[in-house]
Amino acid sequence: MRLTLVLHKQHLRRLFIRKWFVHGRNNRVPMETYAESTLSALGIKVVDSLDVIDEKKTPPVPPGSVKVIGMLDPPVPLGENHPLYHQRPSYLYDEHSILVEGLPQAQNLTNTVILEKGLPPQIEELAKENESLLPEECHEEVKKSILRSFLFDAVQEKMPKYINPERPCYNYPPTFGVPDYRRNRLLSDNLLLICDSLSSEPHGQVVRGAKLRTLLDINDKLVRFDISPGILLCGKNPLSPYTDAARTENLDLPNISPLNCFVSLPKDHFYDDTEIINVPPAKFVHTAIFHFNDTKHVNLTEIPVNENQIQGRTLANSFIVAAAEAKQKLEKPSGELSKPLTIQGIHTNGQWFQFSVLQLNNLSNKGTKNVAWLSPLMHMFASARYEKAVPTLIGYNPDVLRYLFAFHRNSLITK
C-alpha cells in the first residue's frame, strides 16, 4: 500500500484508549501535587476527608429539632382533639350531591309538597303573553348566543373521554371544545342581557358564585347544606306568596320506604359549622340559576343522572337558597315563618332548562309544609355542532325564552 500523509497521522481515539489501557493494567501511582507540603508550610492543618464525612462520628439530629421556614405543619390526626371534631355527626349536601331517589327524596328532605303540576298560573299567564311580546329578532339573538357559547368561544379545553356503550374498549381520539362550566355561564349571562334589553328595567343586583352554607335540624338529624349557585338575581322587595300556607298542613309527603331522606348523603363528625350566606343584606333573592355540569354531577354508582334526579336537585338547591335567606333576613331563623319567602329557580346545563318556584313556609318538619311548582325539562335546542365545517343549530325551542322572560317580568312586579 502506498504511504500517504493521511496514513502517517496518529489515530487520536485509538491512542487515548491505548493510553488508559496501559495505565489501568499497571498500578496507578498518584502524581505528587505538593499540596499537603505547601499547606503545612503555611500552617494549615490537613485532615483526612473520611474523618469529616463519617456519619458514625457525628451525633444524629433529633427529628423536629430543626424548623424549616416555609414547610407546612403536619396534619392534625383525626380524633376528638381535632379542631373540626363535633360529637354530633352531620349529613352533607354539597354542590355535587345527587339524590338517589330524586324528587320524592328531595320533598322529604325539604318538607315540600307539590300542589299541582307545572308552574303557578301567574307565571303561565305571563309566558303566554310573551308569545306576542317577543319579536323574532330576539329568538335570532338567542340562537347566536347559543353558537357563541358552544362553538365560537376562544377557550378550548380537552373534553372528557368519549365512551361508546356498544364499543366500550375502543379508544376514541381526544376532542377539544368549550368546557361545560364555561358555556353554562356564558349562555346564562347572554340570556339575562337579552331579557334586560326587552324590559324597561334591569333585573337588579346580580351576584355570581355566591357561597351558601347553612345547617338545619331535619328529623332530629343535623344536615349541612353547602352550595354555590351560578347566579343570584336580587331585588329590594321579596316576591309575593302564591298560596296559603295552611293548605299544606294536612298533606302527606311521598313515601320512599324503606329508604330515608338522608340516603346517599355522607355523614361525618369533622365539619365546619360556620354559616356563610353571601346574599346582600338589603336585597331579597328573586331568581336563582343553578348550573349542571355533566362531568361533575354524577351518581356514586356512575349511572347517568335521570330527569327525576334533576328535578330533585332543582328543589333541594332552591330550598337551600330560601332557607339561607330566611336565616339572614328573618328574626326567627327556625320553625314556621311569619311571612313566606318565594324563590324562582332555573336549573340548566346549557341545553335543557327547568323552571321552578318554591314557597318557603317552614324550616322545620312539623306543622305547615313548603310548596313547590316544577316545570318539565325543556330543551332549548337539539344540537349545536359543525356540519361540513358549517356551524349549525338544530331544533331551537322558543318556549324557554318565553318562560325566562316571564320570570323576569314577575320579579319586576314586586321590585
| DSSP SS3 for 100 | coil
Task: Give the C-alpha separation, 204 to 211, whole Å.
Answer: 19
Give the pTM.
0.80
Residues 348 and 292: beta-carbon distance below 8 Å: yes
How would you write the pLDDT of the chain (415 residues) with one tens digit per residue? 455 555 556 667 777 887 788 777 766 667 788 888 888 898 888 888 777 776 555 567 776 677 777 767 778 888 888 889 999 999 999 989 999 999 999 999 999 999 888 899 999 999 999 888 888 999 999 999 999 999 998 888 888 888 888 888 899 988 888 888 899 999 999 999 998 888 877 777 889 988 999 999 988 899 999 999 999 999 888 888 998 888 888 888 999 888 888 988 999 999 998 889 988 888 889 999 999 988 888 888 778 889 999 999 999 999 999 999 998 887 656 678 888 899 999 999 989 999 999 999 988 888 889 999 999 999 999 999 888 889 999 999 999 999 999 999 888 776 5
Task: Give the C-alpha separation, 107 to 327, whole Å.
Answer: 20
**Which run of H or of E encompasses 40?**
helix 35-41
Residues 146 and 379: beta-carbon distance below 8 Å: no
Is the C-alpha dihedral spanning 148, 152, 155, 161 positive or negative?
Answer: positive
Residues 112 and 372: beta-carbon distance below 8 Å: yes
Please report, for the chain, the start and end positions of each structural domain, with discontinuous segments joined by +.
86-413
Residues 6 or more apart from 142 whose CB is under 8 A from it? 190, 191, 194, 380, 396, 401
The DSSP secondary-structure symbol of 32 reads: P
Task: Give the C-alpha separation, 397 to 402, whole Å.
Answer: 10
